[in-house]
Structure 1
Amino acid sequence: MAEVDLVVPVREAVSNVQLRYALRSWQANLPHGRVWIVGYKPAWLHGVEHIPTRQTGTKYANTTAAVRAACEHPDVSEVFLFANDDMFVMEPLDAMPVLHRGPVRDVEAYYATRASGAYLRGMRETRDLLAEHGYPDPLSYELHVPLPVSKAGMLQALDAGRHLTVLHKRTAFGVLNEIGGERIEDVKVLHRGPRFDRSTPFLSTMPDSFAHGEVGRVIRTRFPRPSTYELRGR
């Protein structure tokens, strides 16, 4: 069986050090075929495929356009791993499992006490969309870990939510395609301090927690050697 490709939407940035270390972690610990960078390709990258996309909308619209471009590209594997540039795999895996965050209603309650704005509105609109499709109590797949995705299934989800400004596309895909999976807590580390779960095979960071926090030090220490995806001396 052919290995699944990795698809990574990348925003415009000068260096993107998190991507560098994410690739090191994936090469060491996550079985995959080709790596597809969709959007902006940093100059130091080597040995990856590239799908350029226009990034003229919001970050949500840009990533949706990137995922659609990957799904419509004939050379991307029919099933691929949808990852972001701040997701790190810390231990060797045989294959990427399907993981979810529990019911959307629980995730919504968590965010409703801490934030408002486009992301929370998009969560609620995606929840309502899924209810209209027969899923009144859907699971959330908005975790900061790679997600196995089928091209046809993701295009179905993107089309269903085409009218939403902020579609939670991981959740829409997972629920509409009934992929199930195992529940975990989200692995995003927002702070600089030393208190975070080090037993999980997955970590994710913010730019600040990666650059200045203990979690970033742990990741950089774990993967000191360049991957084959980095040009020598860059």
Structure 2
Amino acid sequence: MREGAAHEQLRYALRSWAAHLPHRRVWLVGHRPRWAVDVEHLPTVQTGTKHENTTQAVRAACQHLDVSEVFVLANDDMFTMHPLPDGMPVLHRGTVRSVERALASRPPSDYMRGMRATRKLLKSLDHPDPLSYELHVPMPVDKIGMLAALDQAEHVTAVHKRTLYGNLAGLGGEEIQDVKIMYRAPRGYGPESPFLSTMPDSFEHGHVGAFIRDTFPGASPYETPGRR
């Protein structure tokens, strides 16, 4: 969590998890908004790049003794739209090779360089055609396995840590398309969507943001009642 943001996506993500994602405790790693209550907080210094900050946050969670040995890793813009009575399933995006091909027209970026570097690292570790776990959905994580994966990638800039961990741990899982909704127009999702994720603009000004707010109108146990 970053300081200075409004964190309204987090508010509704928490509402969706409270309603639909079985769990015992919620840990916020980084910054905790003043309105957030009954959550555990693990502060971290966020002075690096986005990828460095998130990797540091995941490592901090995995190293903390009070975080459960298996936990669900989620960003503040990931929403569970329907009940998951059996817990969070393992989901992937298909092979890294196919994702690279689909995104080949994108301009160079740390994300794309990190994807290629992670694929090459996995190939060197006997995973010649790895799966991509870079979805905007929660992911079950084993602390020991994630730490071992991160230790393999200390030299990789912008490592795709979910992908690295998922392949080294042999998670497998079900293939889905990514659920990130980047635009204001009502396309790419519907009432049947089990998961959604948004950009700040699409959440604040788009149809998808209104849809999520309408789905979860009531406060969760993790926010101060009656305050915004």
Asked if TM exceeds 0.5, the reply is yes
Q: Which residue of 1 aligns with 2:221?
A: 228
Cα shift at 1:33: 1.2
Q: Which residue of 2 aligns with 1:158?
A: 150
Distance 2:220 2:42 in 1: 21
Q: CA RMSD, aligned part only?
A: 0.8
SS at the partner of 2:189? coil
Cα shift at 1:122: 0.3
Unaligned runs of 5+ in 2: none
For 1:124, give the aligned amino acid: R
Distance 1:233 1:217 in 2: 20
Please say if 1:174 is aligned against 2:174.
no
Q: Which residue of 2 aligns with 1:196?
A: 188
Q: Which residue of 1 aligns with 2:4?
A: 13
Cα shift at 1:14: 3.5
Cα shift at 1:13: 2.8
Distance 1:127 1:77 in 2: 29
For 1:157, give the aligned amino acid: A
The range that moved more, 106-115 or 197-206, is: 106-115
Scaled by the length of structure 2, the TM-score of the pair is: 0.97
Q: Which residue of 2 aligns with 1:5?
A: none
Distance 1:40 1:68 in 2: 16
Moved over 3 A (4+): none
Distance 1:194 1:209 in 2: 10
Question: How many pairs align?
Answer: 225
Cα shift at 1:165: 1.3
Q: Which residue of 1 aligns with 2:60?
A: 69
Please say if 1:118 is aligned against 2:110.
yes
Please say if 1:214 is aligned against 2:219.
no
Identity of aligned residues (%): 62
SS at the partner of 2:197? strand
Cα shift at 1:200: 2.0
For 2:53, give the aligned amino acid: N
Distance 2:57 2:72 in 1: 14
Q: Which residue of 2 aligns with 1:80?
A: 71
Q: Which residue of 2 aligns with 1:142?
A: 134
SS at the partner of 1:219? helix
SS at the partner of 1:80? strand
Distance 2:50 2:4 in 1: 13
SS at the partner of 2:27? strand
SS at the partner of 1:116? coil
Unaligned runs of 5+ in 1: 1-9
Q: Please give the per-residue CA displacement for 1:1-59, whole angstroms capped at 9, x wherever unaligned.
A: xxxxxxxxx12233210000000000000001110000011111000000010101001
Scaled by the length of structure 1, the TM-score of the pair is: 0.94
For 2:153, give the aligned amino acid: G
Q: Which residue of 1 aligns with 2:100?
A: 108
